């Protein structure tokens, strides 16, 4: 009974769905406020979702029908499965030693399906967008993984819950590894294909990237998968870098966790407003010439500190 | 068995219909197409999308791709060159879809009516749901028109 509740309601599917909608709204609203606008009302993500669900589902000629309907489901399922292992305010559906590796692996499944869906939907823009998404994947993923491996190395465990517990004994990962936190945030922006790094779906260049040819239910599922990925990614970073809530000792865990997650989301929205989109070659340069060496440096420094 | 399922489905549809209609009213994504105007109306549409008028309050987003859009906003008279393209873009959009003609030209052909290369207003080619006259029409007029269209949905 408890496990079913956790799986379906909290911190499982329903909770994730509503946080995805909430995060989407907060994100759009914050961006709007930065542009001196009012922004959409709170029900906007729900309206968009329902409208897309009820729209006609067009498939272009030549596209692979089975793959087109399976790929968004695969992305969504991978994100939901990853969410099972990411604790929310200390509560996770499941956990084992090494769940961080599993979560990182599952979170890269949407990137692959995103590329594949561009490939099978034969449109020119889709294929270019798919190729770009793969190039982007190779640029951000290495620094991202190294930045997330550093807290694990520091606390000597691959279990997210134990990393949080380790921060409880020492202090926030953010304070111990500020560089790693910045790298992880940049990597997360790349992973979520959010604004400064939305190269695969740049509107003025490749229309909507791999999703150009999709409408209706499939598009709704893709949007949902992306928004849930935002939520899970942010929750993961909160756990790894600001996991300890001893500082707010007298407050209940859950609201504190939510506030931290919203703070990270606002950081992401600010980045989206402040920076213009990079070109794909600039991103590759940034990833391999700056971020990856920095991540390596940080990792080696961490190992050195452990050795002391 | 089949009958039971069918009646169940129609009942479900009756229940969800108000929600779906609400969602459509609250989230019209537009696609902008210039079928041969002088660019005046296009600039007014871009004005409408600027932070000053902030149409995202009404859930309006500008999409770049016909498949994602709900409302096709056409400016300018339909020329013989763009006629087939306009029709094809309309056909690429997913149902349900609406067409809005912005500017005198797209309503009737405007000052270009009768030209050797001009077919006429958008109404000659597509079923238009809403005409917004003006040369060019002000952003306020466009927002007012869109609001009326949303009321119709
Ligand atoms: S209505 Fe006027 S402003 Fe608009 S396209 Fe025609 S001539 Fe230009």
Amino acid A199: pLDDT: 81
Conformation bin of residue A122: beta by default, left when phi > 0, alpha when psi is -120 to 50 = left
Smallest CA-to-CA distance from A43 within B151, B119, B26 is with B26
The pLDDT confidence band at residue A247, using thresholds 50, 70 and 90, is: low
Q: Which residues of chain B are within 8 Å of residue A54 when distances are taken between CB atoms?
A: 16, 20, 23-24
**Average pLDDT over chain A, rounded to an integer:** 85
Predicted TM-score (pTM) of this structure: 0.88
ipTM for the predicted complex comes to 0.84
Residue of B nearest to A36 (CA): B51
Q: What is the DSSP string of chain B?
A: -HHHHHHHHHHHHHHHHHHHHHHHHH--EEEEEESS--SHHHHHHHHHTSTTT-GGGGT-EE-SSGGG-SEEEEESPEETTTHHHHHHHHHHSPSS-EEEEESHHHHH-GGGTT-TTEEESGGGTS--SEEE--TTPPHHHHHHHHHHHHHH-
**Is the pLDDT confidence value at A112 over 80?**
yes
**Is the pLDDT confidence value at A249 over 70?**
no
Lookup: tokens for B65: 């791709």
Mutate to test the interface with A, among B15, B18, B23 (most CBs of A within 10 A): B23
Mutate to test the interface with A, among B67, B70, B93 (most CBs of A within 10 A): B67
Which domains, ranges and CATH numbers included, belong to chain B?
Answer: 28-152 (3.40.50.12280)
Q: Which residues of chain B have pLDDT under 50?
A: none
In b/e form, how buried is each residue of B119-140, taking b as 16+ CB within 10 angstroms?
Answer: bbbbbebbebbbbbbbebbebe
Q: Kindly determine whether residue B96 and residue A208, on different chains, have CB atoms separated by under 8 Å.
A: no
Q: Which residues of chain A are within 8 Å of residue B26 when distances are taken between CB atoms?
A: 43-44, 47, 51
Amino acid A245: pLDDT: 67
Q: Whose CA is nearest to atom 6 of ligand 1?
A: B105
Phi and psi torsions of A242, nearest 5°: -130, 45
Conformation bin of residue A107: beta by default, left when phi > 0, alpha when psi is -120 to 50 = alpha
Distance CA A138, CA A150 (A): 19
Domain residue spans in chain A?
2-307
Q: How far A194 CA sits from the closest chain B CA (Å)?
A: 17
Model confidence pLDDT, tens digit, residues A162-212: 888 888 777 777 778 888 889 999 999 988 888 888 888 877 777 877 888
Distance CA A286, CA A293 (A): 10
Q: Which residues of chain A are within 8 Å of residue B68 when distances are taken between CB atoms?
A: 208, 215, 219
Distance CA A303, CA B4 (A): 66
């Amino acid at each position: 009974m408890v496990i079913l509740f956790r799986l379906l309601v909290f911190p499982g599917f329903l909770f994730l769905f509503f946080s995805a909608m909430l995060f989407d709204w907060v994100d759009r609203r914050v961006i709007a406020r930065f542009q001196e606008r009012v922004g959409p009302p709170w029900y906007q993500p729900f309206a968009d979702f329902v409208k897309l669900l009820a729209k006609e589902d067009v498939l272009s000629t030549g596209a692979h029908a089975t793959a087109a309907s399976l790929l968004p489901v695969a992305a969504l399922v991978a994100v939901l499965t990853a969410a099972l292992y990411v604790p929310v305010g200390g509560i996770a559906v499941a956990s084992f030693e090494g769940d961080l590796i599993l979560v990182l692996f599952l979170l890269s499944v949407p990137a692959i399906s995103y590329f594949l869906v561009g490939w099978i939907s034969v449109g020119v823009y889709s294929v270019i967008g798919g190729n770009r998404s793969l190039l982007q994947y190779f640029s951000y993923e290495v620094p991202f993984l190294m930045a997330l491996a550093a807290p694990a190395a520091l606390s000597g465990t691959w279990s997210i819950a134990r990393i949080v517990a380790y921060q409880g004994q020492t202090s926030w990962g953010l304070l111990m590894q500020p560089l790693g936190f910045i790298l992880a945030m940049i990597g997360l922006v790349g992973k979520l294909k959010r604004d400064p790094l939305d190269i695969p779906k740049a509107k003025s260049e490749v229309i909507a990237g791999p999703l150009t040819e999709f409408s209706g239910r499939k598009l709704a599922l893709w949007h949902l998968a992306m928004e849930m990925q935002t939520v899970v990614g942010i929750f993961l970073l909160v756990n790894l870098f600001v996991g300890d809530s001893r500082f707010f000792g007298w407050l209940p865990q859950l609201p504190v966790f939510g506030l931290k997650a919203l703070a990270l989301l606002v950081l992401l929205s600010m980045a989206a407003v402040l920076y213009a989109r990079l070109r794909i070659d600039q991103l590759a340069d940034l990833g391999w010439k700056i971020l990856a060496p920095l991540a390596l440096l940080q990792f080696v420094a961490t190992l050195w500190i452990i050795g002391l | 068995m089949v009958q039971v399922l069918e009646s169940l489905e129609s009942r479900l549809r009756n229940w969800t219909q108000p929600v779906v209609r609400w969602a459509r009213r609250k989230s019209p994504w537009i696609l902008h197409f210039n079928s041969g105007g002088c660019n005046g109306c296009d600039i007014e549409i871009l004005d409408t999308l600027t932070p000053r008028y902030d149409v995202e309050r009404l859930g309006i987003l500008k999409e770049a791709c016909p498949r994602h859009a709900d409302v096709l906003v056409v400016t300018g008279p339909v020329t013989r060159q763009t006629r087939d393209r306009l029709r094809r873009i309309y056909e690429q959009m997913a149902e349900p879809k609406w067409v809005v003609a912005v500017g005198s030209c797209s309503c009737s052909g405007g000052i270009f009516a009768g030209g050797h290369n001009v077919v006429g207003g958008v109404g000659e080619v597509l079923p238009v749901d809403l005409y917004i006259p003006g040369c060019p029409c002000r952003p306020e007029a466009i927002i007012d028109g869109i609001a009326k269209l949303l009321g119709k949905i």
